[in-house]
Structure 1
Amino acid sequence: MKLDDIKKLHQKKYRQALGHYLVEGEHLVLELQKAAARQPALKASELYVTDAYAHWAGPFKTHHVSDRQMALLADTRTPQGILAVVPTPSLNVAHMPEAGEKAVYLHEVQDPGNLGTILRTLAWFGGFRCLLSPGSVDPYNPKVVRASMGALFHLPLETEVPLDSLGRRYRSVACLDLNG
């Protein structure tokens, strides 16, 4: 991918059009590597590194960039010097749950940090599918990716799931409401 296209991945419309998103920082790239061992589609990710990470070895195609180029590509003010361009997983929105499958439906979650925290919690408990309503923050937004601390790679995720579709897909649905 060209450097100009990578910079565009900061915007949702380009993430959707190009089918990729950014992962920034050593910890997240390590989590991506772990997930790629179980999810072959993630092995198509490409790594961009500065001199500080020139020694990095892993399953990804690696490109060397200058510190100046990294500063242009990164979403953070002081980038660590390592980022990955990751293919967005294709999601089966017609997915019918298997017996015993658990899902959490999040309605119009707007805050990237909150979504990242929820994704971390779901990944820690394991066995959950995350369903996001229309109007929710993009789960591939750089702030969500950072806040998830890699949990994003470890759980199935669907976006733009209408509330009225849950009754057709799940035998039972429990709800929590902010106002009680």
Structure 2
Amino acid sequence: MQEIINSEQNQRIKFLKKLYRRKTRRQMGLLVLEGFRIIEEALKSQVVFDSIYMTPEFYENEEGKWVVAEFERRFAASNLILVRENILNSIADTRTPQGIIGVVQERKYELADVFAAKELLLLLDRIQDPGNMGTIIRTAVAAGAGGIIILKGSVDIYNLKVLRSTMGAIFKIPLIQEVELEDFLGLLKESEYKLVSTDLSAEQYYYQLDYREPLILAIGNEAAGLREELLLNSDYRIKIPLLGDIESLNAAIATGIILYRFVENRLQ
């Protein structure tokens, strides 16, 4: 077993701490993963790792042995770093990071690449809640969506709460964030895609739409909905029937309902 880091003044530990700042992560193109489940999914998805930090206790258990074998098969063993549990826990965002933290390279996609998917795409406009964002990403993967476009003003998809909510699904779909609305609309006009907007004032229900043509489903901010520019550029506006005394559904739940209508159409 290699040397175990015992001090927070160690340069590796200082580097890891810096990565918990969004600005540093974005500058370096790296993101932080906490816990075995999401690191397992990242390794299975051929994500490029910078390093893994783990406690000696995790290193010795069955999950740790699997991680070590997978990591060393593709990456330098010197980037597998052993750290005392109290130090790892003091750095982690979660109370119990399960004895392991991973640092991976951000996957880079261009907007044109996502448009080239020729599958149903998802457009997210200023989604703010990390739990909603993570659940939407996970649901999109389950429904077979071709990609996700996230407009500027939305929560950072590499926020640790978002990453936990995706449960590793974030590595299984092309997505791009911080997209300017004008850039999206410019590519939309040149493409074969039709824009479908969710709108409480729409006349058409979601189940009345033909999902067999190339579509981009737009989901708006939890409180304000979609921006007017998106509604004006929509080919279709749809809504979900609400029979009880409630104004709207949670953004993630609404997305799931509509995406699985697409799945039903696809399977017929």
Matched, 1:29 2:39: yes
- Structure index of larger Rg: 2
Conservation of the 8 A alpha-carbon contact between 2:147 and 2:174: yes
User: Which residue of the partner structure matches residue 152 of structure 2?
Assistant: 134
Contact 2:133 2:162 in 1 (8 A): yes
Q: Secondary structure at the match of 1:143?
A: helix
Are residues 1:123 and 2:145 paired? Answer: no
Distance change >3 Å, CA 82–CA 104, structure 1 → 2: same
Which one scores higher on RCO, CA 8 angstroms, separation ≥ 6? 1
Structure 2 residues not aligned, in runs of 5+? 1-10, 203-268
Residue in 2 aligned with 1:8?
18
> Which residue in the other structure is 2:236 paired with?
none
Normalising by the residue count of structure 1, what TM-score does the alignment of the two structures yield? 0.87
* 2:113 aligned with 1:108: no
* Counterpart secondary structure, 1:47: strand
Q: Which amino acid aligns with 1:119?
A: I
Aligned to 1:39: none
In structure 1, the partner of 2:59 is 54
Q: Which moved more, 1:77-86 or 1:43-52?
A: 43-52
**Match of residue 199 from structure 2:** 177
Post-superposition offset of 1:179: 5.9
CA drift at 1:168: 3.1
Provide the identity percentage: 34
- Distance, in Å, in 2 between the alignment partners of 1:50 and 1:178 is 50
**2:37 and 2:147 mapped to 1: Cα distance?**
23
Q: Distance in 2 between matches of 1:178 and 1:17?
A: 39
TM superposition score normalised by structure 2: 0.60
How many residues end up aligned between the 2 structures?
A: 175
> Where in structure 1 are there 5+ consecutive unaligned residues?
37-41
Tell me how far apart the structure 1 counterparts of residues 199 and 52 of structure 2 sit (CA, whole Å).
41
What one-letter code is carried by the residue in structure 1 that aligns with 2:33? V
> Who is 1:153 aligned against?
171
Structure 1 residue 82 displacement after superposition: 0.7
1:63 & 1:179 partners in 2: Cα distance?
55
- Aligned pair in 2 of structure 1 residues 47, 108: CA closer, same or farther (>3 Å)? same
Secondary structure in structure 1 of the residue aligned to 2:122: strand
Residues 178 and 136 of structure 1, relative CA distance in 2, 3 Å threshold: farther
Write out per-residue CA displacement over residues 23-76 of structure 1, whole angstroms, 9 at most, x where no aligned residue.
11111111111101xxxxx23331111022214222254111111221122111
Conserved? CA contact 1:53–1:82, under 8 Å: yes
Say if 1:92 and 1:118 are closer, same or farther in 2 by CA, change over 3 A: same
